[in-house]
Homo-oligomer: A and B are copies of this chain.
Amino acid sequence: MKKVVVIGGGTGNFTVLSGLKNYNLDLSAIVSMADDGGSTGILRDELGVLPPGDVRQCLVALSDSSRLMRGLMNYRFENGGLGGHSFGNLLLSALEKVTGSFEKAVEEAGRILSIKGKVIPVTTNPVRLKMILSNSKVLEGEKEVHLSTEIHRGYKSIYLEPFPEVNKRAIDEIMNADAVILGPGGMYTSLIPNLLVDGISKSLRDTQAKKIFIVNLINKKGQTPKFKVGDHLREIQRYIGKDIFDYVLVNNGKPAKELLAAYSEEGDPVENDLHDPRIIHADLVSNALKEVQKGDTLQRNLIRHDQEKLASELMKIVAHL
């Protein structure tokens, strides 16, 4: 069975894992731990737990349990003191309190949800993402980075505080993989936060696994405006230290017009500027019009990768390894 490792966080990881789950693979998800927005942020602040949100999404993606159980995990309470919390976040936080360990909580939740594969926090230190912009403004936390529209003007540094210890299991997974997939996901909020954990970039450079980069569909306004595929690759490679990718998946499908119109305020579609044999062009875009979930305190992407199309393209690569 081919061993595939997916690195990221948020809905990008969810999409890739949901698609790949339907194939016969040994799947692992390495998840960023810098999230501090929405329900996750409140739980971190009030309970002192590690961020459950991205881990929850990966668990649900890998779950083999009933539709009801998966719906339960993503259910968000709408009112009162619980308003905005997703049930799955509360499950992970309660399990962390009861077991005394976030990793045990993830393992136990994985058992409850009958997951197929592994979910591995990139670190189990309580890190916060910080970013210092060129104008010396400091963005404190992933939520502030997520909301910033000034990053494209330049930044001095991005780092995790306190400096985190890597989860050794993440290194082992990368070193033993047949394929490692990075992306899609927020450049500064999902992808780079994983690479800022000491040892992740080195293991990406050292592993014999084939490395696949999935380029985002849409540039985030004020963060990666007008970035072309080459710009995305160069930005991510600054943190890896080397051009490591064997394959780069680029969408050439067209999102529905209604979505593009609704999105014109959000950002522009990523265009390709590279003539490189590593580039794989395919229609990867979802045509589903997804309603934003009620009670959610964060806005979610509406133009998304299609999990089946994405998995099908990925399997063309992985099946031949």
Choose one: B46, B90, B112; the contact of A90 (CB below 8 Å).
B90
Contact indicator A47/B87 (Cβ below 8 Å): no
Choose one: B75, B85, B112; the contact of A112 (CB below 8 Å).
B112
Decide if the interface of chain A is mainly helix, strand, loop or mixed: helix
Of A2-10, A25-33, A95-103, the one touching chain B: A95-103
Which residues of B lie under 8 Å from residue A77 when comparing CB positions? 47, 93-94, 97
Whether A68 touches B112, Cβ cut-off 8 Å, given contacts A47-B82, A80-B42, A82-B46, is no
Which residues of B lie under 8 Å from residue A90 when comparing CB positions? 82, 87, 90
Any chain B CB within 8 A of the CB of A81? Answer: yes
Any chain B CB within 8 A of the CB of A288? Answer: no
Contact indicator B81/A82 (Cβ below 8 Å): yes
Which residues of B lie under 8 Å from residue A87 when comparing CB positions? 90-91, 94
Any chain B CB within 8 A of the CB of A271? Answer: no
CB of A43, distance to nearest CB on chain B (Å)? 8
CB of A114, distance to nearest CB on chain B (Å)? 11
Any chain B CB within 8 A of the CB of A108? Answer: yes
Whether A46 touches B81, Cβ cut-off 8 Å, given contacts A90-B90, A94-B75, is yes
Extra contacts besides A45-B80, A68-B108, A82-B82 (4): CB < 8 Å: A47-B80, A72-B98, A77-B97, A112-B112
